[in-house]
Amino acid sequence: MNAMPPPSSLTTEQLATLPAKELERLAMNINPGGWAVEKGRPISTLLGSCVSVCLWDPRLKIGGMNHFLLPSRSATNADDHDVILAGDYSMEVMVNALMAKGASKARLVAKAFGGGTIVTSIGMAIGERNADFAKEWLEREGIPLVAADLLGAWSRKVIFLPGSGDAFCRRMPVTQAQALQAVKEEKAYEQSLAKPSGKRVELF
């Protein structure tokens, strides 16, 4: 049996015909707090309370995906600035990375996933806050949200195809091993956000 060629050598049409498991194997995985911009290679992530936004420029056929968390606590002083703006920073840095590769903000369309209500120590209704933030940010920036799968009592596996703008979302009950892994990773991410960074986030 011939080995599957590397993702960079597959066309958008070829990727579209692959089963989800093969796409997941070929995809670049991003962890909580991460983001990626690609032209051909699929991008994937596992979501619990966090949200991923996929942005796509249909003319250039280039896209990006992020994975962010809005902490449940409120800012009380300047040291919390980095924490509270985690979602803003994640969105801004991805938009700027797309524009650096020639994408136009005016052409971008979005798909959003996640914000599940799962049992973690992150706090009450954090998934709902993440989902609300994503929708409000996109509306404020004038980027159409063309598809979404948000909230609910489950985690999600998301695969995004930057070449076509297609996204595949698989819901998973929180009892599954992958769902528990999402809880573990997002808890560690939330704890890292709570640590003082010694610097301010500067938005673009």
Helical (H) or strand (E) element with 138:
helix 126-141
Tokens coding 158: 């998301």
CA 38 to chain centre: 13
Q: Is 46:156 a contact under the CB 8 Å cutoff?
A: yes
Angle between helices 86-100 and 126-141 (to 10 degrees): 40
Q: How far apart are CA 153 and CA 111, in angstroms?
A: 20
- pLDDT value of residue 195: 64
pLDDT band at 179 (very low <50, low <70, confident <90, very high): low
CA 53 to chain centre: 5
- pLDDT value of residue 154: 86
At 169 the three-state DSSP class reads: strand
Q: What is the mean pLDDT of residues 69-82?
A: 55
What sign results for the dihedral spanned by CA atoms 161, 165, 170, 174? positive
Does the pLDDT at position 47 exceed 70? yes
Residue at 130: amino acid letter: N
Does the pLDDT at position 204 exceed 50? no
- pLDDT value of residue 185: 78
End-to-end CA distance of the chain: 49
Q: What is the DSSP letter of 189?
A: H
- pLDDT value of residue 86: 83
Does the pLDDT at position 198 exceed 50? no
User: According to the per-residue pLDDT averaged within each range, which of 31-35, 189-193, 199-203 is highest?
Assistant: 31-35
Q: What is the mean pLDDT of residues 58-74?
A: 86
- pLDDT value of residue 16: 64
pLDDT band at 173 (very low <50, low <70, confident <90, very high): confident
Closest CA to 70 of 49, 44, 46, 53: 49
Helix then strand count (H, E) for the chain reads 6, 9
CA distances from residue 37 to 69, 130, 157 in whole angstroms, order as listed:
19, 21, 18
Report pLDDT digits (tens) over 111-154. Answer: 999 999 875 544 558 889 999 999 999 999 999 999 999 999 88
For the annotated catalytic residues, the residue numbers are 50
Q: Is 106:69 a contact under the CB 8 Å cutoff?
A: no
Report pLDDT digits (tens) over 154-170. Answer: 889 999 999 999 999 99
More confident site: 196 or 183: 183
Distant-in-sequence contacts of 29-33, Cβ < 8 A, 24+ apart: 30/65, 30/66, 30/67, 31/67, 31/185, 31/189, 32/67, 32/68, 32/69, 32/185, 32/186, 32/188, 32/189, 33/67, 33/68, 33/69, 33/86, 33/90, 33/189, 33/192, 33/193
Q: What is the mean pLDDT of residues 12-32?
A: 74
pLDDT band at 200 (very low <50, low <70, confident <90, very high): very low
- pTM assigned to the model: 0.78
